[in-house]
Structure 1
Amino acid sequence: MECTHLGRTGLTVSRLCLGTMNFGRHTEESEAHRLMDTAHERGINFFDTANAYGRDGEGNLKGRTEEIIGRWFAQGGGRRERTVLATKVYADMSDWPNEGKLSALAIRKGVEASLRRLRADHIDLYQMHHIDRATPWEEIWQAMEVLVAQGKILYVGSSNFAGWHIAQAQEAARSRHFLGLVSEQSLYNLLDRAVELEVIPALQGYGLGLIPWSPLRGGLLGGVLRKEREGTLGRSALGYANELLAEHRDRIQAYEDFADEIGTDPAGLALAWLLSRPAVTAPIIGPRTAAQLDAAIGALDVQLDQETLDRLDELFPGHRPAPEDYAW
């Protein structure tokens, strides 16, 4: 397994991050435990979760995913010690005030609840799941500084931030002589490249690592049309991505044809492309089986030459950094 540093830190993480959003909702606990064991066996040490994961269609059972991970840690055998654990705070965990967002009280309550569910004494990467426009950075950073001093978290990351949010956060942290953000988790894949405008330049400027989520865009870049023809695509496999498939069917077909032409699995090609992008630390993969996990790991062996990268840019046009993308 290839490893790299997370942004400008000395923290070493695998170049693939195991996403756990399906645990408890689509993946039973026993299978989730097997997947995490297999991930360790394959050298993946970076796991991502969130306090709100595990909820059902009605929004119930928030926190269940962290509980599943916590019971896996409790089995011992070095499971916690070998894992770089990332979770998130922001989601409203109940209807009561201060059960969500990023006030100092919400952050404190959020980390304590996550630590209980995870059966851990600290969180390696504590990520703000969304920007909180109602809470000043002075309050957020003071709360995070306390948690670092207490040893309850080690690093702070963001998720779904705009480029200017990252700049604002980092300048506020700098004024406090605090490390600030070390990573940003954003939607990024061949179909969704808006972060190339301003988020990635901000990450490069401030030394943050990019952790792309939905690298296969809900399965659209994972050979969906081939599976459709073969009758192996589950009726609910794409979920919210069904409308996107109708919109991009011709482009997806051309993409799958190109993957066949160069002898690469579509999913592996999409992951390999992400791994070649500036600032990317580790795409988040969400396998449901060990076979899918192994297929994702295979992307690390895919080498993309300039001709291949140019062809992918033709199929899925990207962005130059702003303002050149839309001005001179």
Structure 2
Amino acid sequence: MASPLFNLAPDLQVSRLCLGTMTFGEHNSLPQSYRLLDEALEAGINFFDSAEMYPVPQRRETHGRSEEYLGLWVRQRRVPRNRVVLATKVAGPSGQMTWIRGGPKSLDAGNILAAIDSSLSRMQTDYIDLYQIHWPDRYVPMFGETEYSPNYQYNSVPIEEQIDALGEAISAGKIRYIGLSNETAYGVMKFVQIAKNANLNHKIVSLQNSYNLLCRNFDSVLAECCHHESGH
């Protein structure tokens, strides 16, 4: 049964189900990954999500394989590029993944633009449909944390600089749309506001946060943001 499409943006139709590739290259071999992608496409799914830090658990030896497998599948299966929506993400600051631009230490313009070029190369594509910030370049409670403490704040890259870099990539034709991930209500609204003030050609269109039977934070703090901003 085909998955129905809906408009993520005026010229970006995505299936209501998105296939994540977080396990490709670690838990799933290349043939297994191809089988999952084949079955998803046959079922009507056109939306595929990856990240530069995938697969997980993250290791130097497997870094980037998820993007590589996804790009190889599109090429080797000869899937028309305009038939699929490819999404990936830039890693935020991390002191552990030293194999990704030395940390990465920040989400400044240089890191964002370098990450985009690397993802394009691994996926063997000229453009990324949806490019997302994997987690914020500032302290926020995430990955199981539930309480905010201002004592953990650090000097972070201004959102304006991140938006400018993403806007530069849009102008260069390297990415089409911007999304956020693991973001707070405050962060969503700041990104939306700054993108509007910058007259960004393509608005922020998506938010990829944890949501399951046990984690329902979206319902209480983010649903209102998305409802009011989805049409702007």
CA offsets per residue over residues 41-69 of structure 1, 9 Å max, x none? 11100001111112546554211111111
Q: Which amino acid aligns with 2:44?
A: G
> What's the offset of the Cα at 1:10?
3.8
Secondary structure of 2:116's partner? helix
CA contact (8 A) 1:90 1:100 kept: no
RMSD (Å), alpha carbons: 1.9
Question: Where does 1:259-298 land on structure 2 (aligned, <5 Å)?
Answer: none
Partner of 2:111: 106
Report which of the two has the higher share of helix. 1
Q: What SS class does the counterpart of residue 125 from structure 2 fall into?
A: coil
CA distance, structure 1, for counterparts of residue 41 and residue 70 of structure 2: 13
Residue 198 in structure 1 maps to residue 199 in structure 2:
no
Q: Deviations over 1:4-43 (max 9, x none)?
A: 111x544111010011111111111111112111211111
Instruction: Note the C-alpha offset of 1:3.
Output: 1.3
SS of 2:167's partner is helix
Q: Which residue in 1 is equivalent to 2:14? A: 13
Aligned residue type for 1:113? S
| Larger RCO (CA within 8 A; separation ≥ 6) | 1
Alignment partner of 1:135 is 2:129: no
CA distance in 2, matches of 1:171, 1:97: 31
CA distance in structure 2 between the partners assigned to 1:151 and 1:82 by the alignment: 18
> How many equivalent residue pairs?
207
Which protein is bigger by CA-based radius of gyration? 1
Unaligned runs of 5+ in 2: 139-155
Counterpart in the other structure of 1:187: 210
Structure 1, unmatched stretches of 5+, are 209-328
What's the counterpart of residue 168 of structure 2?
Answer: 146
CA distance in 2, matches of 1:207, 1:100: 32
Amino acid aligned to 1:66: E
> Aligned partners of 1:5 and 1:123: how far apart in 2?
17
The whole-number CA distance in structure 2 between the counterparts of 1:98 and 1:105 is: 13
Q: TM-score, normalised by structure 2?
A: 0.83
Per the alignment, do residues 77 and 46 of structure 1 end up closer, same or farther by CA in structure 2, a change over 3 Å counting? Answer: same
Is 1:62 aligned to residue 67 of structure 2? no
Distance 2:103 2:171 in 1: 23
User: Which amino acid in structure 1 is aligned with residue 222 of structure 2?
Assistant: V
Structure 2: how far apart are the matches of 1:47 and 1:101? 26
Give the conservation status (yes or no) of the 8 Å contact 1:128–1:159: yes
Q: Give 1:30-109 correspondences, 5 Å limit.
A: 30-56=31-57, 58=59, 60-91=61-92, 94=98, 96-97=101-102, 99=104, 101-109=106-114
Give the distance between the partners of 1:32 and 1:141, measured in 2 at CA.
Answer: 33
**CA, structure 1 residues 201+193, in 2 after alignment: closer, same or farther (shift >3 Å)?**
same
Work out whether 1:3 is the aligned partner of 2:5.
yes
Q: 1:198 to 1:56 in 2, by over 3 A?
A: closer
CA distance in 1, matches of 2:194, 2:29: 42
Query: TM-score, length-normalised on structure 1?
Result: 0.59
2:88 and 2:132 in contact (8 A); partners too: yes
- How far is the alpha carbon of 1:70 from its aligned partner? 1.6
* Identity score, percent: 38
Contact persistence 2:132–2:181 (CA under 8 A):
yes
User: Equivalent residues in 2 for 1:115-134 (5 A)?
Assistant: 115-133=120-138, 134=156
Secondary structure of the residue aligned to 1:154 is strand
Change (3 A) 1:76 1:27: closer
